[in-house]
Chains A and B, each alone.
Chain A
């Protein structure tokens, strides 16, 4: 039996979850960085219009959220890319996507013709947006589960 060729193959197989997790967190982090940047390059009021059009929050909260959420997204993206405290940042990302998806679903059910507000101004909420949001939520959940499993394996 040729042990020299089987050992690297086994090592690569053992490492694939690590690579998958790395790819997942880089994509997720990139998405958050872009989402934050896209909102920050425009006046915060445009994002406030989008949040307010969901008709969920009072206007005072809308203004605060419009000013702070893009910074939070940017920070979360950077931390996700860096891989620091991945279990908790991935959990936060999943939580955000669950909240965003619920708000979008509610708007869709209420037949509100609104802007998504996901990546800056002027993005209509529609089936394509839902598919994309669903894929991101699945990715965030995958990274979260992966991060916890990795941690368990290490300890």
Chain B
């Protein structure tokens, strides 16, 4: 009787051990799979700022090497982020539209999108505009980013430059721009209650954009 029960206990123990091993194995396999294939990053969302449900959406088609884009970013986008995006009033969407006339803008767009893959788009965008003169002249984009990316991040971003996701993201933005018949940057669109208006970029100072957004928010 005792021998029989001890056999049962031994069998149960072996079964439990086998289950534990199998469970640990499946956990490890899942972990390995997650490491091998990271969750897909929504690049469009990474390149946008604010809440999607904000009453006003500002779509900006930019070229990182275009001086007018830099001016708009420095003088209008940055205060907009603080005054309207942070408070949930404006959803700011960046679209890449590198123009062929700028030698390094396509490469800069790749760096920005690859940085978006690791959640560093804003930092890289700011650095690209701030140091536009430098990398615009030399083409050494990575030099302009060494203050905002760690060596490990730089390595990861460099590895993602020609990834299908980055290529597709830029191509998607370019297709949108072409569908709208755009030929220059920055091209700025403001959408409110389903109505979209393209505002003349040369005249779009922060003071006027602010007054227009304030007007829309009262409607």
Q: Does A145 contact B (CB under 8 A)?
A: no
**Contact A114:B215 (CB < 8 A) given known A52-B208, A59-B208:** no
**In whole Å, how far is B158's beta carbon from the nearest beta carbon of chain A?**
35
Over the window 181-216 of chain B, the binary record of Cβ atoms lying under 8 Å from chain A Cβ atoms (1 yes, 0 no) is 001100000000000011111111101100110010
Report if A50-B200 is in contact (Cβ < 8 Å); known contacts: A43-B215, A113-B184: yes
Which residues of chain A from 48 to 77 have any CB-CB distance to chain B below 8 Å in the complex?
A: 48-55, 59, 62-63
Q: How far is the CB of B153 from chain A (nearest CB, A)?
A: 37
A114–B207 CB distance below 8 A? no
**Interface size class, chain A:** 20 to 34
A46: Cβ under 8 A from any B Cβ: yes
Give CA–CA (A112, B183) in the complex, Å.
13
B37, chain A: closest CB distance, angstroms: 44
Cross-chain contact of B215 among A45, A54, A62, A121 (Cβ < 8 A): A45
Q: Known contacts A45-B208, A45-B215; decide if A52 and B198 are in contact (CB<8 Å).
A: no
Whether A115 touches B200, Cβ cut-off 8 Å, given contacts A43-B215, A45-B215, is yes
The answer to whether A53 and B184 have CB atoms under 8 Å apart is no
Q: Does A134 contact B (CB under 8 A)?
A: no
Q: Are A49 and B203 in contact, CB atoms less than 8 angstroms apart?
A: yes
Is A17 in the interface zone, CB < 8 Å from B?
no
Task: Please indicate the chain A residues that have their CB under 8 angstroms from the CB of B200 in the complex.
Answer: 49-50, 52-53, 114-115
B201 to chain A, nearest CB (A): 8
- Give the interface size class of chain B: 10 to 19
Q: Are B197 and A51 in contact (CB under 8 A)?
A: no
- The 8 Å CB contact of B198, one of A48, A54, A122, is A122
In chain B between 113 and 130, which residues have their CB closer than 8 angstroms to a CB of chain A? none
Q: Which residue of A lies closest to B199 (CB)?
A: A49
**Quick check: B202 and A46 within 8 Å, CB to CB?**
no
From A48, A53, A112, residue with most partner B Cβ within 10 Å: A48
On chain A, the residues within 8 Å of B203 by CB distance are: 48-54, 62, 114-115
Query: Which residues of A lie under 8 Å from residue B204 when comparing CB positions?
Result: 49, 52-53
B199 contacts which chain A residues (CB < 8 A)? 46, 49
List CB contacts (< 8 Å) of B94-132 with chain A: none
- Which chain B residues lie closer than 8 Å to A46 at the CB level? 197, 199, 212
- Chain B residues, CB < 8 A from A51: 203
Bound CA span A62–B211, Å: 13
- How close is A124's CB to chain B, nearest CB, in angstroms? 10
Q: Are B198 and A45 in contact (CB under 8 A)?
A: no
Q: Which chain A residues in 84-138 approach chain B with CB under 8 Å? A: 112-115, 121-122
Task: Please state if A112 and B208 are interface contacts (CB–CB under 8 Å).
Answer: no
> Is the CB–CB distance between B212 and A114 below 8 Å?
no
Contact between B197 and A55, CB atoms less than 8 A apart? no
Q: How far is the CA of A48 from the CA of B183 in the complex (A)?
A: 23
Q: For B202, list chain A residues within 8 Å (CB).
A: 52-53, 55, 112-114
Specify the chain B residue showing the minimal Cβ separation from A116.
Answer: B200
Alpha-carbon gap, A115 to B215, bound state (A) = 21
| 10 closest residue pairs by CB, A with B | A52-B203, A53-B203, A53-B202, A45-B212, A49-B203, A53-B200, A115-B200, A49-B200, A49-B199, A45-B211
Interface residues in chain A, defined as those with a beta carbon under 8 Å from any beta carbon in chain B: 43, 45-46, 48-55, 59, 62-63, 112-115, 121-122
